[in-house]
Each structure stands twice: as structure tokens, then as C-alpha cells.
Amino acid sequence: MLQRRFGIALRGCCGRYTSSRRMLLQKIIDDIAPVNLIPSRIIVVRQMGMDTERTQLPCSSKIDEESSTLYARDELIPGPKMLQRITDDLRNKGTTFFLPINDENAMNSIAEPLRNLVRQMGMDTERTQLPCSSKIDEESSTLYARDELIPGPKMLQRITDDLRNKGTTFFLPINDENAMNSIAEPLRNLVNAGVRAEFVIDACVQRPQLLRAFAKRGTVSFELIETLVDSCAMTFEDAVRIFATYTDELLGVEAESVQKRLNVLVGCNIPAGRPLGRAVRKCPAVLFASNPKCMGVVAESLSGFFSRGQISVLVANTPHILLSSTDELEPKYEYIYFHMCIEENEFGTCERWVDMPLEEIMMRHEFLLKTGRYTTPDPKRPQFKMENPVLKRILDTPDANFATEVAGVTQEEWLIFKGLTEKISRQSDMERPFERIKPSMRKAFERRRKEGARKEAHIFDAAANDER
């Protein structure tokens, strides 16, 4: 019975949604069914822009066909206006509900579950670091006609008009119906997938290259967006933001190649879904900057240094490590591990070691040794290791704060040391700045280092005795 009554709503919103979203919608239906609010839920689903089988119109300007209820734009934003509208409708039905209107914190607290629900349904995914906000601009008085919210010639005309007002001219083949339908197809696919038409219009206006990509390579563009949604558990809005930011780069590699790159991350124990999406958001360049084969080689080389669990943490925190080369990573790893005697588990929490030049890593290490803030750990005296700053603090601390916060000296002393070290480095003809150690030779290297330290101390004492 429940499925029959919700046939249209379920088909309309689940066509391109992941199983988790279908389960969320079903749970909402199950929760409200006992209180006879089924028809109201159908209205809410349509108002959220998820009933795409009826008119393909999204939330803000749609009049419900059965109830003739008209919602103002601010009543569709989770907050005081929405709560006031709900209580007014309840009062009309004979139920009184009092709101703490004068208490802003209390009103925000009541609205928070509604706000979370809207986000979970994929309709409000604000990301300040990426363009094209999906939130209705409360300060904007822009209203769209009904036919402008249906993907087609009218929507395209509205987009080009808004672009013209911003100083960008975009010519449409208005007299060619097939060409217009072809340009509108990716827009139609997005709206059918549950993306609000206002968001689509705003995205194309804010990022004209997005409309250009839809016009020239609409099918490929939508495939790329769909790949991010399916593999990274992103909403379509978030996927559109990433695509709008890196349009040319992503179109240069296409969906199949992007999927191969994502598979490399999955091979590094990054689970597909939200964990993979977090890694992509940290470094979107992993989608296009290198080729899958080179990324796979780097991932395989990491297994020579780290365990699978450590690789998972490392790639999750610094996904751009897969864009580096093995020749750059190996010397840095060997120096940190063999000469600084820092264990592998500290690499995962440190971000800058991947990008920081080897010379700077060595410079910071030497400076800490000379200031007495770092002691080379001895397996027989583990207490010294506990007193040393962790790798994240040594390398991730900004240069301006490194001297005072980590080394415990003034900035001037650090600058003088850097200048002298760079001068000596330029004058040196050494092919390698430090001795390369194979893993099998680590114990021999440690014995050699201890013997060298004892020998230097003996020579120093002998010289002192001669002076006396």
C-alpha cells in the first residue's frame, strides 16, 4: 500500500540516487506513515525538487498540483521562516505549536534537524572552497519563470541573458532545435538526478566554462560528474563544483581515465565512497594531474617503505603523494627514517614531507640538533625519543614560527643558520647531501655512527690534554 501511494515520488527521486539516499527517503516515509502525513510527505518531496516525473520543476517556484499551496522562497530555507510556515499550516489544521520566536539560538536549534535533513537529501551542500552555492541566496530577489526552470531553450536563454548582464556573450543556435536540445541534455540530466534548476542556472552563470563544456561535450561532461557521484559518494552539486573548477583538465582525461586514477587510490586501501571523496577534495589534481600507470608505480613503491595500513593513512592525509616520483620520495624517506630515526607511523600525520625539499628537511634537523632540541634516538635509551618533537611539528610548522616554537631560539638565529648552510651547500661538490643507507645495512650504519662519535670524543680529549 505504501509503495503504491508513493510510486511517483519514489521513482522520481530514486532514479539516479545512491542506495543510501533511497534508504533515507524510505526511512522518512516509514517514520511518518503511522501519523497519517503521507500526502504531506509527497508535497515535501516535490518541493525539494525530487519529483521529476511530473513537471521536472524544482522546489522554489513549484505550485503543488494537488494542494495548490504556494511557498515563498525564504519558506523553503531551513530557518525561522520555514518553522513559522509549518506552525501556521498546523494552526490551520487545528494544532497549535508555540515557537520561541524572540530566542534566536532556540530557533536555530529547532531548525537544525530540518537543515540536516535537507543536506542529507543532497539538496544543500555548501562548500566555500568550491564555486556555485546550492543555497538559495536570501538577499537575492531573483525570481525565475516556470518555463525557465525546465531544462530547454528558455533555461538556456535565461543563462545567456544573465551572462550578458555580467559582460560575457554566449551565442546559442536558437533556430536549430536539435542543437538546442543537445546543449540542454546535460542540464536535463542534472535536474532529473535531483539537482535544483536554480543551482544549475547559477552554476552556468558563475562559471561560463561549465556552459561551454555542456554545449561542446555534454555527454562526456555528465559522465565525469556521474563518476564522481558514484565513486566518491558526492552529491551532484559537489561534483558539479569540482567539474566547474577543473573543467578543461577533466575534459582532457575523460571519465574512464578518471575512474582508473580513483582505482589507484582504492588500491591504497582508501575505501570507495566518502573516504575516497575526502581524498579527492583534499587534492582534486589526483583526478587528472598524472597518469594511472605512474600513480600505480608510486603506490607500489610505497609498499617497500610502509605497511598497508600506514599507506592507507598516508594517502588519505596526503593524496598528492601519488603525484610525486619515486626518485624524489626515496631520499626523503631514507633520511627521515635512517638519519633522524623517526618511525614510519609518524609519516602519515605529517603533510609537508612530501613536498618539502630534502635540503630543507636536513636543515631543520641539523638546526634542532645544534640547539639541543633534538637527540638522535638510541634503541637502548628510548626516553630521548619521547623528548624529541614529532615529525609533524618539525616539518609542518611554518618557517616563520619554526625557530621560536620548535627550536626555542630567535628568528634571527634561524635565518643566519639557513644562510650559512645554503652557502656551504653551494660550495660543496658532494653528489649526495647524505650517505644513502640500504635497509639491510642499517645496523652496520648505526655501529659505524657510534664508533665515529666515540672516536671524535677521544681525539677531543687528547687535544685538551696536550694543551695542558
Euclidean distance between CA atoms 253 and 224, whole angstroms: 10
Closest among 10, 2, 1 to 53, alpha carbons compared: 10
287 with 280: CB under 8 angstroms?
A: yes
pLDDT in the model for residue 107? 83
pLDDT, tens digit (0-9, with 9 covering 90-100), for 160-185: 999 999 898 888 888 888 889 899 99
pLDDT in the model for residue 119? 60
Side chain identity, residue 265: L
Euclidean distance between CA atoms 393 and 302, whole angstroms: 23
What cell numbers appear for 357 in the block? Answer: 625539499
Residue written as grid cell 535565461: 158
pLDDT in the model for residue 432? 57
Euclidean distance between CA atoms 100 and 106, whole angstroms: 7
∠ CA(301), CA(304), CA(307), 5° rounding? 110
Side chain identity, residue 13: C
Side chain identity, residue 296: G
pLDDT in the model for residue 437? 67
pLDDT in the model for residue 443? 67
pLDDT in tens, the chain (468 residues): 444 333 434 434 444 444 444 455 455 545 544 433 333 333 333 333 333 333 333 333 333 333 334 667 677 788 888 888 888 888 888 788 788 888 887 888 888 888 777 665 544 433 333 344 444 444 344 688 888 899 999 999 999 999 999 898 888 888 888 889 899 999 999 999 999 999 999 999 999 999 999 999 999 999 999 999 999 999 999 999 999 999 999 999 989 999 999 999 999 999 999 999 999 999 999 999 989 999 999 999 998 889 999 999 999 999 999 999 999 999 999 999 989 989 899 999 999 999 999 999 999 999 999 999 998 887 777 666 678 999 999 999 998 899 999 999 999 999 999 999 888 877 665 555 566 666 666 667 666 766 655 544 433 343 444 444
DSSP 381: B
Euclidean distance between CA atoms 178 and 180, whole angstroms: 5
For residue 378, give the 3-state DSSP assignment: strand
Query: How far apart, in Å, are the Cα atoms of 338 and each of 214, 388, 421?
Result: 52, 16, 21
pLDDT, tens digit (0-9, with 9 covering 90-100), for 301-328: 998 889 999 999 999 999 999 999 999 9
Euclidean distance between CA atoms 159 and 168, whole angstroms: 11
